[in-house]
Structure 1
Amino acid sequence: MKLMSGTANPDLSRSIADYLDAPLTASHIERFADGEIFVRIDENVRGEDVFILQSTSYPANDHLMELLICIDALVRASARRITAVIPYFGYARQDRKTGGRTPISAKLVANLIAKAGADRVLTVDLHAGQIQGFFDIPTDNLFATKVMEADIRRHYETDNLLIVSPDVGGVVRARALAKLLDAEIAIVDKRRPKAGVAEVMNIIGEVEGRRCILFDDMCDSGGTLVNAADALLDKGAVEVSAYVTHGVLSKDAQGRVAKSRLRELVVTDSIVPPPGSTETPKVRRLSVAPLLGEAIRRIANDESVSKLFD
């Protein structure tokens, strides 16, 4: 087994390598003056089972192209099997036509990864589970739910806890966490007048006197979570925190969270904080390296990955 890292999240790659007690494959990745990406693998990978570690986060197009070029380099170096480990799968929000003459970009990206030569994909908390069906190669979608559950038990009393889905589409995700914690759920009814803007319309469920935890797959601008927290507190919630797998945190998202009424926002290390973002003590990070490392170990040894979901 070989582990190769792209440049999107080198810290997570090193943490996965440490978990597996395996070195990262020597490689050289650079960009020409006009932005072209060049990749060279500096050790023999012929006949090897190679895992290329690369989130397609900001800048999404650069990191996606880098992933495709790394896969092509491995194909031409005669790797036996190539698994694209994509902790955060960019373009996942474009998983359906939202109007006339619009693309389904998640399917396009899935096609590009398969055509480049990947034999398998491993990712974490896809925005929509059906994206697995966009790939014509085996795809494992891991869930960070148990990582979140363990952290919640360490930091919160669970007897008065309420798990809240910030929208109707996240109910299944929220229910899975609530089941692990033996908690009830509530739902925020919201609408999006335009991309990146969310308005809370109603709260479904009894939140008065409860400690609420908003649970979602990603936080981009932070508007959804901040507005939902305000609505829950206005309805009588004691406090509101948020747990999110992918902290996209674009533009001034961390500043928005810092000024909000959220107790804290907990994200994983699937994404590196974007350049220029201002760190705030209200944002705390958990590692998914053990989760990904164990899945990689099981795939390499032809063991069951589904047991990680039990």
Structure 2
Amino acid sequence: MQINGIHHVTAIAGPARRNLDFYSRVLGLRLVKKTVNFDDPTTWHLYFGDAGGNPGTILTFFPWEHVAPGRLGVGETEVTAFRIPAAAVGYWTHRLIANGVAHDAPQKRFGETVLSFRDPDGMRLALVGVPGSESEPAWDNGEVPPESAIRGFHGVTLLLDKTETTVAILRDVFGFVEAGLEGNTVRMRAEGTDHGGVVDLRAAGGFLPARMGAGSVHHVAFRAGDDAEQARMVKTLTETFGLRPTEQRDRNYFRSVYFREPGGVLFEIATDAPGFAIDEPAEDLGGALKLPARYEMRRAEIEAVLPALV
């Protein structure tokens, strides 16, 4: 059976130490993996998520110490949103104020209370109060009390010139259904999942194109239960939409295929297996630098050039 929804979101950040402090301390997420950018092993690749590192909760970063700021534009993920208990919106408003985090007043969108804010690199984030989510598990080994903690992704907002073809891909490839329209934003929802089940498509024809940099989302990954499901998705992309996804790439914790959807956003299809506990026990996730086998012989060299995290 197809497993719907977002698997992870990967973004670009500035200094790694600042990135780690914000997401682990201020937002209270668990650091579930410390590894390197497989294409640039002198750069960290940090993964944050829930206690188990489950799909639908994982936000990852490539932090470069001196990267220039990105520019928001069409063909990019505009907002990455987390789900929190509805009663926790007040707590988070006070927490953002206490930590000097720039934020907007809570607003209603699609009937939900949304608290928008930015991280130190200007990445656009939001907390969405979801009734009933207080019963979902959360990482509780930090400053944020478990009753108010982030429960995983709510979803993402994509800024596009036009939305029609992206809607079709979300529907025909990833199993989303149209769930609402508010102004120039169409909401797509993945049935059968709570975490990462929402993709909002905002039409902004004529807006400037995006420029990648600090604060930009690099790509959004969608879930595939296994290799066979991933292959079926690739076949649909090729035969129905005329797209040419990449070959499958082994990312140690999942297997990935990439393609750029017609609106310009880079999408990934990531398998749920094997997961983050493949190279360290679940209770120790994020405790040590983990390298792919091809880089182990260079461990001392890599450790010497990676920026300090503490």
One fold, TM greater than 0.5? no
**Higher RCO, Cα 8 Å, sep 6+:** 2
Indicate the structure with greater strand content: 2
Indicate the structure with greater helix content: 1
The structure number with the bigger radius of gyration is 1
Q: Provide TM-score, normalisation by structure 2.
A: 0.28
Q: Provide TM-score, normalisation by structure 1.
A: 0.28
